[in-house]
Structure 1
């Protein structure tokens, strides 16, 4: 009887632990290498004083598993920019023109996917402290609507190994 109870207990434990251990083996979207782009919360910047002629809009994004090929990276941010337009979010007032910047960062130990700016008294952590992880950008304005794309291949420490600069679809350098 005791042997039968131990066998049943072992089967019950096995029935619970085997599926649980196998769920850890399945790949998530991020670990499978799928590329994903999303806006980093609480990082949008809009500024321009009343006496200035421009309003500047800066938005910041994270790319999970970015492509290593710089042309593919440019195409990824270009497609993202077309699908997530920011021009309508800030209206020019009167004679003011608007300048737009979209910055794209890679995930790293210093800049995890759930990163948030920190303005606490003893600790300040802003996006400008993470330029090592900036891998692409788009710039344009109302006055010059041609979009300029920069894409970078950087070492883990942030040293630029290769860069490409495009104006629309023309490779400039």
Structure 2
């Protein structure tokens, strides 16, 4: 594993505009070795993605990228987002903390009906020297729920997400040419 503190500093210098989504850990997210289990990491990233793109029924202000309404989904809406592919690169084990992790999101690529959602999972917000624990990408596809076929993003969605489009994650194994 590399020095994730050094990578965190480098990432901050070249990063596009990012959403910061605080995601709390649960004791059950840990495995027998005392760090966040790999399946729990997928659930944490899912939670961050849902908070970033879906408006819930809570009293808080939604993030500026939250363009989908949860009540439409729950009532059998015509559109849904599906995961086509996911990749995670673990840089350091994530220890338990009572303070939420700082999950940073941006869009690494935007297609007609798909988007590469990029994540960086950092130590809790407010930590003086943040640690980058993991990087991930999820390819999300917008589909028509009746047909299951991909459909295009609307201009409203593209406008909301445009400030958060940046370069995709360069994973180490790809960068090394393996």
How high is the TM-score relative to the length of structure 2?
0.28
* Structure index of larger Rg: 1
How high is the TM-score relative to the length of structure 1?
0.29
Higher relative contact order (CA 8 A, sep 6+): 2
